[in-house]
């Protein structure tokens, strides 16, 4: 019987092991990059979806109340002569703030010399503005309880644009309202946080236009 030579048994050489390990490491690197990109895209889309939901929620709340601006208010004994209800003047309504009134309880009757803007029930005098420090849209109601409430967080900016109408239609747009303002355009911006592997300075913008149904021009359209 011939003695067995163990040195002749088949196996992996050191070079073969190094090559196999190198290939495995390369494959693991490719998989890691793909997983990282997938997670980056997922984070980006999740941020975008959350931002869109926040914008839509803010616009829904503001649009509902702003559209009622001027309800039950009129400038004379003729109730058909409506007013848009937007409070104008320094520090009142501009491109980042809107202050408006509505006589929702219909408890006010016109009398000569009376200010048709005397509305003292909750929900009848509202101010919406953006608080940059907390990145939130704030609703202020001097007759409400509480007076101040956060509508939605995570908002980078809110812009109001006022469309003015006459008997022939749109006559101008401005950053401050006039007595002929009959439509308000609201733009909500959200600056998204940086995500590794994604472009920086990403932003979501949502825009809506609200007809002031009680404005003089709009009253004559229906």
Rounded Cα distance between 16 and 143, Å, is 82
Q: Which residues of 131-161 are buried (b: 16+ CB within 10 A; e: fewer)?
A: eeeeebbbbbbeebeeeeeebbebbbbbbbb
pLDDT for residue 119: 80
What residues have CB less than 8 Å from 53, skipping those under 6 apart? none
pLDDT for residue 92: 92
Which pTM was predicted? 0.76
Q: Compute mean pLDDT per 10 residues along the chain, 222 residues long, and list them.
A: 56 78 83 74 73 81 91 66 84 94 72 59 92 92 92 89 87 91 92 76 86 83 64
pLDDT for residue 128: 96
pLDDT for residue 14: 78
CB atoms within 10 A of CB 53: 13
Rounded Cα distance between 176 and 92, Å, is 9
Cβ burial, residue 63 (10 Å; 0-12/13-18/19+): middle
């Amino acid at each position: 019987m011939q003695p067995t030579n163990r040195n002749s048994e088949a196996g992996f050489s050191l070079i073969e092991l190094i090559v196999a390990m190198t290939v495995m490491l390369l494959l693991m690197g490719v998989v890691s990059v793909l997983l990282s990109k997938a997670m980056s895209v997922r984070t980006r889309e999740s941020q975008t979806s959350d931002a869109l939901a926040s914008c839509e929620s803010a616009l829904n709340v503001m649009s509902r109340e702003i559209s009622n601006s001027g309800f039950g208010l009129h400038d004379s004994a003729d109730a058909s002569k409506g007013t848009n209800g937007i409070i104008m003047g320094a520090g009142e309504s501009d491109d980042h703030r809107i202050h408006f009134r509505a006589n929702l309880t219909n408890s006010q009757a016109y009398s000569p010399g009376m200010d048709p803007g005397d509305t003292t029930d909750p929900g009848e005098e509202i101010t919406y503005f953006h608080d940059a420090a907390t990145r939130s849209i704030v609703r202020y109601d001097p007759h409400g309880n509480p007076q101040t409430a956060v509508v939605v967080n995570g908002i980078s900016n809110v812009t109001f644009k006022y469309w003015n109408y006459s008997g022939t239609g749109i006559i101008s747009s401005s950053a401050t309202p006039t007595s002929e303002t009959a439509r308000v355009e609201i733009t909500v911006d959200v600056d998204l946080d940086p995500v590794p592997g994604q472009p920086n300075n990403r932003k979501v913008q949502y825009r809506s236009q609200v007809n002031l149904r009680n404005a003089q021009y709009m009253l004559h359209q229906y």
